[in-house]
Amino acid sequence: MRKSFSLQGSPRPTSWFSASYTDSSDDETSPRDKQQKNSKGNGDFCIKNIKQADFGRREIEIAEQEMPALMALRKRAQGEKPLAGAKVVGCTHITAQTAVLMETLSALGAQCRWAACNIYSTQNEVAAALAEGGFSVFAWKGESEDDFWWCIDRCVNVEGWQPNMILDDGGDLTHWIYKKYPNMFKKIKGIVEESVTGVHRLYQLSKAGKLCVPAMNVNDSVTKQKFDNLYCCRESILDGLKRTTDVMFGGKQVVVCGYGEVGKGCCAALKAMGSIVYVTEIDPICALQACMDGFRLVKLNEVIRQVDIVITCTGNKNVVVREYLDRMKNGCIVCNMGHSNTEIDVASLRTPELTWERVRSQVDHVIWPDGKRIVLLAEGRLLNLSCSTVPTFVLSITATTQALALIELYNAPEGRYKQDVYLLPKKMDEYVASLHLPTFDAHLTELSDEQAKYLGLNKNGPFKPNYYRYENTSKTTSAPA
């Protein structure tokens, strides 16, 4: 236990600070140049610092308290191992929540190798805890682009180990295997993908006839889209902006590019805090929803000179280009809530006439010759997981959906799924939701036989047809918790 201290007298020794896993005084040696082993002598990993494992274990234990469905899956799998023989290679954010998922997959019988899908989102202490626990993890916060692909390759290209399932977030792992090791798909049973960007890539492969194995589109499952994309972003957008910039939201003019589930969540939170919110959209249906929810629908060039904050949520590329960046007001905050770093044209800012100043971690001032500056967050990468945290309970819903998708694809009889992209069966969506209801002491009403017959439903579900949208207008009258 840390000793108490007085504010008077001599300052605290620097060694007190170095005990924290957030310590920035670690040597700058690349993890790739270090020889690391865990307490059991295993060195099949590459992380920042194995000595941070105890801190990471505490983070994971905290996350477990807010991930009831995964813990329930572990308990139910004590007798059976639905993923026995599965060799899962994963590329996701490596956080305490993902660690709970990985350890759940292991409890279900799977072997796992893992890399990070984002160069800034890895929690080093969690990666250390996983490595100490015997997982082959290749990730650290602040990877270079070369490090990023090297880590993915180390997960895939290993002697004596061949993956038979892929869990991806963004499609980079799938892309790498297609590019470098296409023969591996002969033994891979399926792909589970959870992001808009990665799903888009899968549909492109399918359309071109190049998808070699069945793929499960988790992003568009109800439990992912309506909870992770909407509720998670509704809370984490404020957290990410506040931690990085200490900005006051009341009265600020904000433009949110995209009014899908992520955009809906961001807009609801900002509106509740008193911001004046504009929305840009290409889809007339989403655009009409924005209007009905009380937001002004605009083109970006109409408001770019006056807004204080620009947030991208489209999953597209070049949404905020250099022309718009040049026209922004002094002090404008620019950030991205989509998965990939393609929405803001950051490359166009790396020119000799512009000066970059690092203000704090993941916060840069980009300064024009006339002295105007914008505040760029996470170099255009995903704001919430790069600069803050996200609500664990919502991630429990997504992680449980991922686990069930892996189980479904891995155990499916041959022929059930073709070389195409599928949605998670509705019954599984409902099962994921039901596993989370006890947390709220919630009690479902049960249909009587007469009612079930009247509605033409099975008493145990599924209760809605596949085309049902579970629409939520994201209206709110108070700030989210």
Residue ranges for the known binding site for substrate are 95, 169, 194, 224, 228
Q: Could you tell me which of 341, 358, 351 has the C-alpha nearest to residue 119?
A: 341
Q: Could you say which DSSP state residue 370 is in?
A: T
Across the beta sheet with 136-138, the strand order is: 136-138, 111-116, 87-92, 165-168, 190-193, 215-217, 421-423
CA 388 to chain centre: 12
358-390 core/surface letters (b: 16 or more CB in 10 A; e: else): eeeebbbebbbeeeebbbbbbbbbbbbbbbbbb
Contact 329, 352 (CB under 8 A): no
CA separation for the pair 89, 105 (Å, rounded) = 11
One-letter amino acid for residue 248 of the chain: M
One-letter amino acid for residue 415 of the chain: G
For the annotated binding site, the residues are: 95, 169, 194, 224, 228, 260-265, 281, 384
CA separation for the pair 135, 56 (Å, rounded) = 13
Contact 229, 265 (CB under 8 A): yes
For the annotated binding site for NAD(+), the residues are: 260-265, 281, 384
Contact 99, 129 (CB under 8 A): yes
- Name every residue whose Cβ is closer than 8 Å to that of residue 152 and which is 6 or more positions away in sequence: 91, 115, 138, 172, 173, 176
